Structure 1
């Protein structure tokens, strides 16, 4: 059976240096496409585009990964900006929101990573904690700049996440925001020891829809990417 085509959303940075060049660039940490490939998929990168292009893009994909990245603009969930919330990335917010909506409408398997989980929650009407240390009293979800922290995550029995990762796992994490009120239809699939929601899923979705707060692309555990790829392969076979 042919490998499913998995699209991965990218960053858009105004200044990136490589070799003699310093230019705007669409980029993505290599862990994302490497895990898609190791899980049996074909990886393609999706730079930000006009939101009205999302439906056409998703129609050509067998699955979608919404990657990690900067804070979601608080206005998208009706909140005032916290002093610790990062600058707005309105083009990326709009593009990835449109990708999520298109994937849900078309029944394409979807995996959200960190920011991708938060944005899925916002698209479905949920809200975010803008600075998690204010709520949990520690900074254990984020290491020093550019360094992942590590903590354990406990799956909720009976969920899609628990079927994928049945045991408590130690994960790589780098975030200071988190899901607060769950969006419509979403259920929590895992929690950290301090109660932070670490995975969400949409049982009523047409296809596999799972998002995790940690960064599996920073480790060696393929299972969530394998689950996405398997769902994408099944969906592609049905469409043929």
Structure 2
């Protein structure tokens, strides 16, 4: 069913697009809603960018309409089958064997490198664009785009930072640059212990220091890598 003799010449992006055409009459927004992700996630895969889908996205796609994971990843067999949904382990093994890149979410708001930016709601991974992992970087959980000049000369506006979420407060490396997620928003600063507060400092001395109460900090993520366009 829905087999295509030319399917072997298609990419995984083409096959996902074919699912949308066949089952959702080309409506990408309806498809995104059906699998529980933001429309921008689907647009990143089937649009101009042609980004590689993450393991999580593949799992969501293959959980609907009995989509064959083997067909999605390899193009072999039919689009639909009657088998049980594959496990994440199955998807990862198939994806790895066919060189489907693992990805990390790019947080769709910018780190306000200058002052706290108001973020009114949390951003889920399903709302994020998925970016292939950068080889050679230490392990990281997400990337985020810098805005402003308060962390120059080390970080420039437009730099993309790879960040690892801190799981235990005892592992804080004071003096290092962190993404600080607090009640008032998200900010990129060097952080220092100040008793009940975290002291945030800028590399650009034109910007003053400020404190954030530790009780208002939701997450800390240390910067472990940086990408810059020249």
Q: What TM bracket, shorter-length normalisation? A: under 0.3
Larger radius of gyration: 2
TM-score (norm 1): 0.26
Q: Which has the higher contact order (CA 8 A, sep 6+)?
A: 1
TM-score (norm 2): 0.27
